[in-house]
Amino acid sequence: MRKVPAVLVSVLLLLAVCGGVVYLRPELAPPGPLHPRYIVHEIRGDRIHPFIATDPHKMYSITLWDVRWPIFRKELYNYDEFVDYMVQGFTAVNPNVRVEIRLFDLATSSDELRSAIEAGERPDVLAGTFDPALAERGLLVDLSPFFDEAEAGRFVPGALAPLVVGGRIYAYPRWFEPQYILANATVLARIGIDLDAIRRNGWTWQDVAGLGARFKSTDVIPLILDTSDPQAFETLVLSAGGGRAFDGQGTLVWSEHDLAPLVSVVGTLMKQGTLPSPPSRYRASQAELFWSGRAALLGPASSGFLRYVRERAGGAVRAPSGESKIPGFDIAVLPLPGKQGGRGELLGSLSSLMVFDCGDRERARIAVDFARFLATWCPTRVTDALQLVSCHTECLDRSLAGLIVKTGTDWISQGLTGGATVQAGPATGLDVRQLQGLSRLAGAVKSFWDRPVPAVKLVESLHKAMTTGQPGPKPKAP
């Protein structure tokens, strides 16, 4: 009888040692309720975690909702085919998983997506702009248990940070679409502008204003701003030091404090002769002026304009003048000027992969694997076509190399890998209320560019537009 406690103690010690070894080397035992890490995650209250076992003999079905990205040259390649190919890659490794695909058009997806989600129709994986409200409502899987130090290191810090809500990670970063100033590198070098210094150190709006004097004896327009799109206006407000236009409930929160910096910048640019007066003077001809070398700087620009430049340079887009070759100058992308210079903040749009908790833990566990598969895939043929940047560290440089601007993009990679703050730019994806709000602001924004007014009057006109204005044309898709 006295030997029984000793045997029990020995058994318990052996189990503890074995459990400790398996905890430190989790690959030694299959996932399941008896795995030490499963027990730890359950104690912590993690509903979905890496040690939930799935049955290889059971057939699972998950759904993917994604945007039908604009790869228009379908005779060469299109996004629908890419998604099918991508899914086949996942199911080849997971033959007991079937993936249903639903693609939404960029221009019409927002209302349909939001309505479907509100009605209870939800995918397992949703590709698009991260929506913190979905996490706050408990609809998304908390992915923090899947992000140990090694996993977090596979993604650029600048893209991972915006996906955190309450200290928890709720999505995988996929692609980043930076906002930038498109530059005629040849003419800027001719007047002594050090583009490498701008890429390396950033610049301020005051630096940009100073360019006006250097172009006085030339026929080149120093700067053309995008005055056609309220999303571009919001990007400029952010770059000047203001905040987002709307809060999470879709309420316009711009104040004089937010808009005064940009109003001051616009006034200074016009006074120095850097920006035409009125700023909207070249609204309809900005692309042609840049293409012909008669504009030195244009922005804010993004992937859509790079796609246009690439297609036009290749002859796929016929120019009004009949040109089929790009003029004799180099193109550079420069960071958007900041309030105080430096490169502490990147402006742009982030595409993410969110996993919905649909009630089945095993199904959600597989959906997490699928989301990770999409996030770590290196589809350079697609990112090259879209002129987007991968958020996966191993794919980042390859996607940068696919931009039509081959040199001078280090500021993008250095900002993302260095943990620079990624300030979400124009609202896209699920931000339906913000998109509708920006649409209502279109008339007031256009009036400002036609005739700039003090910040206090601009605030009044914007808030009035929200209560009395009719929605204008939809903001342009990225």
Looking at the structure, tell me whether residues 310 and 356 fall in a common domain: no
Q: Dihedral of CA 102/107/109/115: which sign?
A: negative
CB-CB contact of 140 with 165 (8 Å) = no
| Residue 95 clears pLDDT 80, i.e. is over it | yes
Q: Is 78 helix (H, G, I), strand (E, B) or coil?
A: coil
Do residues 331 and 203 both lie within one domain? yes
> Mean pLDDT lowest for which of 67-71, 76-80, 332-336, 413-417?
76-80
pLDDT at 18: 43
Backbone angles phi, psi at 455, to 5 degrees: -60, -40
Domain range for 393 is 60-173+350-403
What secondary structure letter does DSSP report for 264? H
Q: Are strands 331-335 and 180-184 parallel, antiparallel or unpaired?
A: antiparallel
Rounded Cα distance, 263 and 431, in Å: 26
Q: Confirm whether 412 is domain-assigned.
A: no
Q: Hey, what are 90's tokens?
A: 């996942």
Mean pLDDT across the chain, nearest whole number? 83
Q: Is 302 strand, coil or helix? A: coil
pLDDT in tens, 5-16: 654 444 445 444
Predicted pLDDT of residue 339: 72
Q: Which residues contact 469 (CB under 8 A, 6 or more apart)?
A: 440, 441, 443, 444
- Are 233 and 305 members of one domain? yes
pLDDT above 50 for 162: yes
Whether residue 27 is contained in a domain is answered as yes
Residues 254 and 368 in one domain: no
Q: What is the mean pLDDT of residues 245-255?
A: 83
- Among the listed ranges 50-54, 155-159, 460-464, 470-474, which one has the minimum average pLDDT value? 470-474
Q: What is the pLDDT of residue 427?
A: 40
Whether the Cβ atoms of residue 269 and residue 236 lie closer than 8 Å to each other: no
Task: With beta carbons less than 8 A apart as the criterion, state whether 303 and 387 touch.
Answer: yes
Res 63: pLDDT: 97
Per-residue pLDDT, 23: 44
Same domain, 212 and 298: yes
CATH number, residue 189 = 3.40.190.10
Q: Indicate the helix (H) or strand (E) that contains 434.
A: helix 432-450
Predicted pLDDT of residue 365:
96
Count of beta carbons in the 10 Å neighbourhood of residue 61:
12
Lowest mean pLDDT among 33-42, 256-265, 418-427: 418-427
Residues 208 and 318 occupy one common structural domain: yes
Average pLDDT over residues 378-390: 86
Phi-psi region of 112 (alpha: psi -120 to 50; beta: other; left: phi over 0): alpha
**Does the pLDDT at position 409 exceed 50?**
yes
200 and 286 assigned to the same domain: yes
Q: Is the pLDDT of residue 22 over 50?
A: no
Does residue 261 lie in a domain region?
yes
CA dist., res. 358 & res. 362, Å (int):
10
On the question of pLDDT at 105 being above 80, the answer is: no
Interatomic CA distance for residues 40 and 24, integer angstroms: 12
On whether both 221 and 323 belong to a single domain, the answer is: yes
Of 216-225, 294-303, 381-390, give the lowest mean pLDDT range.
381-390
How many structural domains are present in the chain? 3
pLDDT band at 395 (very low <50, low <70, confident <90, very high): very high
Residues 184 and 158 in one domain: no
CB–CB of 209/388 below 8 Å?
no
Averaged pLDDT, 182-188? 91
Contact predicate 79/68, CB 8 Å:
yes
Q: What tens digit of pLDDT does each residue of 197-229 get?
A: 998 888 999 999 999 999 988 889 999 999 988
Same domain, 231 and 252: yes
**Spatial separation of the C-alpha atoms in residues 348 and 426, rounded to whole Å:** 7
Please check whether residue 414 lies inside any domain of the structure.
no
Residues 297, 358 within the same domain: no
Looking at the structure, tell me whether residues 37 and 90 fall in a common domain. no
What is the model's pLDDT at position 406?
74
Q: What is the pLDDT of residues 118-132, one digit of tens each?
A: 788 899 999 988 888
- Confirm whether 67 is domain-assigned: yes
User: Is the pLDDT confidence value at 183 over 70?
Assistant: yes
Contact between 350 and 415 (Cβ < 8 Å): no
Give the model's pLDDT for residue 119.
82
The confidence band for 4, taking pLDDT boundaries of 50, 70 and 90, is low
In a domain, 329, yes or no: yes
Computed from CA positions of residues 311, 110, 427, 347, in that sequence, does the dihedral angle turn out positive or negative? negative
- pTM listed for this prediction: 0.84
Q: For residue 344, tell me if it sits in a domain.
A: no
Residue 51 within any structural domain of the chain: no
